Amino acid sequence: MDDPGSSTHNKVVAGHISGNVVQAGVVESVTVVAAARPRDEVEAVLEVVAGLSGDLWQRTSHTWEIHPEAPVRVSWSRDDELSVEDERPLLSEPVITRLYEDLFVREGLRQVILVGEAGAGKSSAMHLLYKKALDERADKGDPRAPVPLWLTMSDWDPASLDLTAYAVRELLSLPGLRRRDGLTRRMAELLVRRGRIALFLDGLDEMPTGLRAKAAAQVNRATHGGTRVVVSTRPGKRGGDKDIERFRWPEVVRLNPVDVPTAVEFLLHKQTGQDRPAWRELADYLTANPDSALAKALRTPLTINLIRHAFPHAGSSQEKPLDLVRDGLDTPAKITTRLMGLFLDRAYSTEGVTGRFRRARKTAQHARERATLAWLARRLGAKRDIAWWRIPLEVEVESLRVKSALLVAVPVLAVVLAGSAVFGWPEPWGLAAVPVGVACLVTFRIVPRAVLRAPATLAWTGPSPADLRHTTRVWLLGGLLFGGMAVVSSGNWWAMVAIAGMFVVMGLLGAGYGQGVSGGLLGSATRDLTDSPSVTPHNAFRADRRRTVVAAAVGAVAACAMCAPLGLFDDSVASGLVWGVGMGFTGGWVSGLGPAWLLVVARPSFKGPARPYRFTPTLRSALDKQVLRQAGLVYQFRHAELQVYLQRSG
């Protein structure tokens, strides 16, 4: 929705980065590694990184149309020459090739700074240059060519994490990376420090003002070490370039506002048949009135693409592009707002849906989705990022408690009833309801804490020495203590062995609980996803949902191991197993409960003709319709103006 040929304006990656600054001592260790690493091994690892980087680009860009054409003219200014104002070529394949050659082929220190207003296509240009670097490396088969790596600057804190550490962290979190691929932390540091990785840094202007100077200093340091860097940013207020001046070796590429002749050229592009007269009428008006509100509104690829989407059948429809003038819209802001509304109407239209019943159902669903998006926009306020795992925080907690309790209590009740029917009912029979009550109470208590958790995934790496020490402590303190009590009370040594073994299992598994309990396999394998900027929102949602299911299953296993041996005292091992499964499922589920399952049961609360819709399908549908864009783990509205429009229309 950014320009007629390049509707991709999304960030590929974004994430919350935390960690320590890589110390100077790392350089020495990298030098040792470099001497020990055969060249073939380094090239093999770099080839793996190139493949993963290409896969990431394909996955994050597959919903957007990317073409090397945009209605924007670019101008250069290098550190070693003055810009030529007369030379303003269109952003196209030759321009991308020139950018690639300046960055990767030209000798010397290279920093390419892409500057443009909101909607000018900076991220689109970076996407195209990023893809060009991947294609050139693959076509020429040059293993020495740097591999591009996309990083986002909005959440990077250069005061606590240097650029090399940030890039290494991103490399190690590439989706699809396997242990046998050979990309260790030391190898990643080697690739970054030796300039084998080219860094694409998106959104300098989105950093806090006080951090930009530090970020530029670290970029200069990396460039001096041989790293190629691309940075995108908006021009400073009142046309100032203070941020750009902080770079030592910049090649500034400006994406200029669209002039009227260029806008006319792209508005008429591929307009044929009965549609062309309506667009020709608009072109004639813009040419005759270059200072009109409509001409001023159509100064970015974003608005040009919007108007093309707003009137897809201008020839056969009663609505014409020039109606924007006839309707009395006398400011660029009003025209942009109208274009946003028309774009949403087209995105959520039922055109092509056959059947009266299906059309009515689809219309109602679209109205509910738009109402839910408007609710989200209002909740965001001035913020841009839709962190999906924070959405449950905006929902009434009592509603979450009730729905989550039902989600846990129903399977627990099914297990207890089925087990009691097979192995015999307890006396009194009402005891079968105890696990269900416990499940509801525990869920009610844990939900307010669970909504504060970040999405997580499981990365199986095996128990660390700390985990093994944790297991030993659990076994010694719990197993021997309770096992000794069992021997004293019953004289059954087998009961002691069983109970001690049960505590070993619980300690090794982490008691079946994920983020709530440290130690054990599950605890050590649980990894926070907010510091993995390469993961898409949908992948993070699925990973967190899967982690909760695994935690529940492991919790059931651990509780079975705990409850079944207790049955040795009264010869009711089967009853212990049944109760163990029910209680273990409850403990594992609620202790491992993550935001993904809370988002499934969460619903917005608002009044209006359209009822709220489920969040997950609403977000996915809006992404497919290009109403939202992906930015790492978060979603964003396609443009700030669209977010403002929904806030006002809700």
Query: Which CATH architecture does the domain made up of 25-255 adopt?
Result: 3-Layer(aba) Sandwich (3.40)
Q: Say which residue, 211 or 243, is predicted with more confidence.
A: 211
Model confidence over 122-157: pLDDT tens digits?
Answer: 878 888 899 999 999 888 877 778 999 988 786 688
Model confidence over 485-528: pLDDT tens digits?
Answer: 666 666 666 666 666 666 666 666 664 444 444 456 677 777 77
How high is the pLDDT of residue 33?
37
Model confidence over 407-430: pLDDT tens digits?
Answer: 888 888 888 778 777 776 666 666
Model confidence over 268-324: pLDDT tens digits?
Answer: 888 888 888 999 999 999 999 999 999 999 988 888 888 888 888 877 777 888 888
DSSP 506-521: HHHHTTT-STTS-SHH
Give yes or no for residue 81 having a pLDDT over 80.
no
15-29, 246-260, 609-623: which has the minimum mean pLDDT? 15-29
Contact of 591 with 513, CB cutoff 8 Å:
yes
Q: How far apart are CA 483 and CA 494, in angstroms?
A: 9
DSSP state at residue 273: G
Model confidence over 439-461: pLDDT tens digits?
Answer: 888 888 888 888 888 888 887 76
Q: How confident is the model at residue 633 (pLDDT cuts 50, 70, 90)?
A: confident
Q: What is the mean pLDDT of the chain?
A: 78
Q: Say which residue, 226 or 203, is predicted with more confidence.
A: 226
DSSP state at residue 522: H
Contact of 300 with 332, CB cutoff 8 Å:
no
Tokens of 519: 């130690």
Q: How many CB atoms lie within 10 A of CB 331?
A: 11
Give yes or no for residue 1 having a pLDDT over 50.
no
Based on the number of CB atoms within 10 Å of its own CB, is 486 exposed (0-12), middle (13-18) or buried (19 or more)?
A: buried
Q: What are the counts of helices (DSSP H) followed by strands (DSSP E) for the chain?
A: 26, 12
Q: How confident is the model at residue 536 (pLDDT cuts 50, 70, 90)?
A: confident
Residues 6+ apart with CB under 8 A from 593: 404, 446, 447, 450, 453, 548
Q: What residue spans define the domains of the chain?
A: 25-255, 260-347, 356-394+602-649, 397-599
